[in-house]
């Protein structure tokens, strides 16, 4: 699993004009990509990392500050544009594999005590955020 993690001061996701997920104030906006060999165990590992990674102000984590997370599925994180002008998506898991694993990340975060908002899997989403820093890291498990 691969995640692009951005420290934000607010973020939201809109589908068809409706806000389906929103966090206000300091937190993390997390774009999650799934590849073919990912498992529920990797989803749990990613959730633990997201909950405890110390990238918020003052080297704090979401668990330290009870900061919210906005988790959005994004298959394009496994796009490959090394050859030609058009990316390939061969490394991205198909929706029937990816969706339950993204849901597992969210469920595990909630089990840890996190407030988690989400996008809508497979939808055309409009994501708005204020990157705080800017501060962006890539996490792979």
Q: Give the residue numbers annotated as catalytic, written as ranges.
A: 74-76
Q: In this structure, what token pair is assigned to residue 99?
A: 């969706």
Q: How many residues are recorded in the chain?
A: 141
Beta bridge partners, 14, equal 19, 126
Q: Locate the DSSP E strands across the chain.
A: 2-15, 18-33, 69-73, 116-118, 125-140
3 state DSSP class of 96: helix
Task: Specify whether the backbone of 10 is left (phi greater than 0), alpha (psi in -120 to 50) or beta.
Answer: left
Q: Under 8 Å CB-to-CB from 47, ≥6 apart: which residues?
A: 104, 105, 106, 108, 109, 112
């Amino acid at each position: 699993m691969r995640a692009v993690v951005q420290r934000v001061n607010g973020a939201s996701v809109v589908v068809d004009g409706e806000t389906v997920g929103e966090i206000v104030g300091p937190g993390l906006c997390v774009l999650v990509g799934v590849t073919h060999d990912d498992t529920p165990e990797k989803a749990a590992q990613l959730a633990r990392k997201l909950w405890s990674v110390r990238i918020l102000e003052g080297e704090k984590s979401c668990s330290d500050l009870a900061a919210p997370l906005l988790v959005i599925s994004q298959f394009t994180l496994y796009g490959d544009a090394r050859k030609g002008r058009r990316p390939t998506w061969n490394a991205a898991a198909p929706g029937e594999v990816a969706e339950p694993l993204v849901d597992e990340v969210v469920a595990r975060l909630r089990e840890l005590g996190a407030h988690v908002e989400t996008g809508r899997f497979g939808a055309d989403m409009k994501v708005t955020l204020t990157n705080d820093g800017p501060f962006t890291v890539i996490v792979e498990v």
